[in-house]
Structure 1
Amino acid sequence: MRVHLGCDHAGLDLKAHLVAWLTEHGYEPVDHGPFVYDALDDYPVFCIRAAEAVAAEPGSLGVVIGGSGNGEQMAANKVAGIRSALVWSEETATLAREHNDAQVIAVGGRMHSLDEMTRFVEVFLATPFSGEERHARRIAMMADYERTHDLPPLPSSAQAGPGADDPADPADA
């Protein structure tokens, strides 16, 4: 499996470690940069490229890395069709794949040890999407919104309180 990687200066050492680890474990890493340390680099440059590559190659996965992982996750999520999850534990790595069918994870290089982060990536790559109907339905809602920008319909069980009209409902206009 091909694994696309992108980071900023705070993730450079972890990315280099992951490239070697992925190769040793039979994966095909694709490094989208950066390749040298620059304390002023901009993570969107590299993380968007990694996420674009994942979107263009169904079946591949991606890892984006920064100091906290927050900005990197946000950048990856700007790519149409990408679901990127911020991972900070084995459980969040598992759930990102199992429930959300995330294709990209973001990890914080300053938040965890090298061993912890490597384990998060290992768990993410080894966990399949469950395919459960409720999870597939929710992913489809997000994909539909991304495509149309129409809000998902409220379920009949959702009762708005007094004066809490749904701004997206044309009947409320």
Structure 2
Amino acid sequence: MEDVPREGVLHVPPGAIFTPSARDLAAERGIQIVELASEEIARLVQPDKKIAIGSDHGGFQMKQHLKPVLDELGWTVIDIGVFEEKAADYPDIAHAVARLVAEGKAALGILVDGAGIGSSMAANKVPGIRAALCYDRASARNSREHNHANVLTLGGRMLTESQAEDVLRTWLATPFGGGRHQGRIDKITEIERAYSTWNAQNSKA
């Protein structure tokens, strides 16, 4: 109970046992204890399961391989293209996926191009996006746990389908570590805001 913030609702399963002191603390902090069925609690805490995915021509085949994996893992997939191996510009695809994530229309994003580098660069121009190019389990885990990455970029011509799937599964299974890492994410956000303000001021000059 010490970790519960002041004022709010604490959902618990029916029959949950609280000591008198815990109930007193809840009352003192203005916390309302509400009993809900376990499935209702799961529904409330379930994160948004929409994920946006996109690729240029160099990542098309890899994208097609990864979509069923996302389905298997329970994600609702928003495929923004491309839908054939016709030449396409990765900045357009990266922008479309990153925008969906930044606007909260997708919880996470996946981008695949030939090397994964260009899509990462383009996506990171969108405020609020932390796109990470990952190439193995360690980099996937680090990007999520330490850097709170919300967009994964992959090199469709740099990884086998098996390797890319392994990276994807690891990335999605790794939670953000918080703690000291949050302070560093906050600093990234501060840099982003500083230059957003700078750009706005200079555009008026």
Q: Give the TM-score category using the shorter length.
A: 0.7 to 0.9
Query: Which secondary structure does the structure 1 equivalent of 2:129 belong to?
Result: coil
Gaps of 5+ in 2: 1-48, 197-205
Partner of 2:91: 44
Partner of 1:105: 152
Please, what is the CA RMSD of the aligned residues? 1.4
Paired with 2:192 and 2:161, the residues of 1 have a C-alpha distance of 35
Paired with 1:6 and 1:143, the residues of 2 have a C-alpha distance of 25
Q: Which has the higher contact order (CA 8 A, sep 6+)?
A: 1
**Sequence identity percentage:** 39
Paired with 2:153 and 2:163, the residues of 1 have a C-alpha distance of 13
Normalised by the size of structure 2, how large is the TM-score?
0.69
Following superposition, the deviation at residue 58 of structure 1 comes to: 7.2
- Asked if residue 24 in structure 1 is aligned to residue 72 in structure 2, the reply is yes
Following superposition, the deviation at residue 20 of structure 1 comes to: 1.6
Following superposition, the deviation at residue 85 of structure 1 comes to: 0.6
- Asked if residue 138 in structure 1 is aligned to residue 169 in structure 2, the reply is no
Normalised by the size of structure 1, how large is the TM-score?
0.82
Partner of 2:108: 61
| More displaced stretch, 2-11 vs 16-25 | 16-25
- Asked if residue 94 in structure 1 is aligned to residue 141 in structure 2, the reply is yes
> Residues 51 and 106 of structure 2 are in contact (CA less than 8 Å); yes or no, is this contact kept in structure 1?
no
> Residues 5 and 47 of structure 1 are in contact (CA less than 8 Å); yes or no, is this contact kept in structure 2?
no
Paired with 1:100 and 1:59, the residues of 2 have a C-alpha distance of 19
- Asked if residue 6 in structure 1 is aligned to residue 54 in structure 2, the reply is yes
Q: Which of 1 and 2 has greater Rg?
A: 2
Paired with 1:61 and 1:138, the residues of 2 have a C-alpha distance of 20
Following superposition, the deviation at residue 137 of structure 1 comes to: 1.0
